[in-house]
Amino acid sequence: MVANNAQEALQQAYAALKIGDKRNAYAWAKRAAQADPMLEEAWLILAKVSKPQASIKFLEQALQIDPNSENARKGMAWAQKRLRSQTEPLRAAPVAMSKPPAKKKKRAPLLFVGGFVLLCLVAAVIWAAGASPAMALFSSAPTATASATQQHWGQADISKPTYTPSPTATYTPTPTFTLTPTPTYTPTPTLTFTPTKTPLPTKTPKPTKTPVPVPTTEKPPETSGGTHWLEVNLTQQRVNAYAGDTLIKSFIVSTGTWQTPTVTGNYRIYLKYVSTTMSGPGYYLTGVPYTMYFYKGYGFHGTYWHDNFGTPMSHGCVNLRTSDAAWLFDFSPLGTAVFVHY
């Protein structure tokens, strides 16, 4: 039952991990590890969804279970790399070194050259206009077209700032280890044959040993005072109940067959059972009612397995209807005389 619970929790953890639900993946993996601490896959899932330090502890547990586990080794390298990336200080981005600014050149020569050129231009205009500078500016008279005057430019080195691009820090994601689930073998239930125990027959209690009477065909002496005694007539298949010389009641019965005949002679009832079990070659009967033994295993008893009274049917006992056996049981105390004859 414990192994089934662990496997069910592990499957739930894989399902949660597949959809990115780390919280439930952790909860189900933890439940699987608690149900079966030797389940390596549960520790691997816990390592995958935990912080680096916790991941290392979970992976150490997985390696204790299987030191050669490739998944656990890959996971350990992955967790240690994550831990180092969190503990190393961030490196400052390199600062671009710009060239030292060029020394400013003196601008006085440049100004001097520029002023000289400007002065030359003004003089040329005045000369071309043939008038004073004021006339050249205000006279409306047409003037000769000024000839093209060569322009002179001063050359100077002017330092320009240079732009050096600063390197931009590029984030490289830390590789995550992929957990490869190991297929687990689920045993297929097989049909088991359970043999049905055959009840063994209970041993029939042996009657207590009593002095064995000497069989005789002589009728017991007449008793006075109404003493009860029983007569079994094998020829008529009847039992007669007497009180002294008085016949009280007569019953039709079934006695032993020619193969298992009923004994003859004078006997006395020595053992009584309201209900008992009888067994022998070819039969096993439980709940035999109102049984009275008079010689070894021979006795009177009620019969529920046949209704063929008047015909020899038994293994030697005297079979009666259950109601007749009950009456005879109450009529005959222990020690009652029994006379059996043809």
The one-letter code for the residue type at 320 is: L
3-class SS string, the chain: CHHHHHHHHHHHHHHHHHCCCHHHHHHHHHHHHHHCCCCHHHHHHHHHCCCHHHHHHHHHHHHHHCCCCHHHHHHHHHHHHHHHHHHCCCCCCCCCCCCCCCCCCCCHHHHHHHHHHHHHHHHHHHHHHCCCHHHHHHCCCCCCCCCCCCCCCCCCCCCCCCCCCCCCCCCCCCCCCCCCCCCCCCCCCCCCCCCCCCCCCCCCCCCCCCCCCCCCCCCCCCCCCCCEEEEEECCCCEEEEEECCEEEEEEECECECCCCCCCCEEEECCEEEEEEEEEECCEEEEEEEEEEEEECCEEEEECCCCCCCCCCCECCCEEECHHHHHHHHHHCCCCCEEEEEC
147 — pLDDT class (breaks 50, 70, 90)? very low
What pLDDT, on the 0 to 100 scale, is given for residue 114? Answer: 72
CATH 2.40.440.10 residue window(s) in the chain: 228-341
Report the distance separating Cα 301 and Cα 47, nearest Å: 81
What pLDDT, on the 0 to 100 scale, is given for residue 55? Answer: 85
- What's the full length of the chain, in residues? 342
Q: CATH: 3.10.20.30, 1.25.40.10, 1.10.3720.10, 1.20.1730.10. Which one for 2-87?
A: 1.25.40.10
What pLDDT, on the 0 to 100 scale, is given for residue 69? Answer: 87
Choice between 187 and 156, residue whose per-residue pLDDT is larger: 187
Phi, psi of 7 (to 5 degrees): -65, -40
CATH 1.25.40.10 residue window(s) in the chain: 2-87
What pLDDT, on the 0 to 100 scale, is given for residue 341? Answer: 97
Name the CATH topology of 228-341.
Answer: L,D-transpeptidase catalytic domain-like (2.40.440)
pLDDT > 50? residue 169: no
Global pTM reads 0.39
Task: Yes or no: say if 325 and 260 are a contact pair by the CB < 8 Å rule.
Answer: no
What pLDDT, on the 0 to 100 scale, is given for residue 133? Answer: 38
144 — pLDDT class (breaks 50, 70, 90)? very low
Residue 239 β-bridge partners:
232, 251
Structure tokens at 90: 């961030």
For residue 45, the tally of other CB atoms under 10 A from its CB is 27
The whole-number average pLDDT for the span 6-34 is 90
209 — pLDDT class (breaks 50, 70, 90)? very low
Q: How high does pLDDT run on average in the chain?
A: 76
Which tens digit of pLDDT belongs to each residue from 40-71?
888 899 888 898 888 888 889 889 898 888 88
Report the distance separating Cα 39 and Cα 22, nearest Å: 19
- Per cent of the chain over pLDDT 70 is 61
Nearest to 299 by CA among 330, 327, 278, 323: 278
Structure tokens at 143: 């003037």
The alpha carbons of the chain give a radius of gyration, in whole angstroms, of 65
The whole-number average pLDDT for the span 165-192 is 56
* Chain CA centroid to CA 82, Å: 35
Structure tokens at 341: 């004859």
pLDDT > 50? residue 93: no
Phi, psi of 296 (to 5 degrees): 45, -120
297 — pLDDT class (breaks 50, 70, 90)? very high
pLDDT > 50? residue 146: no
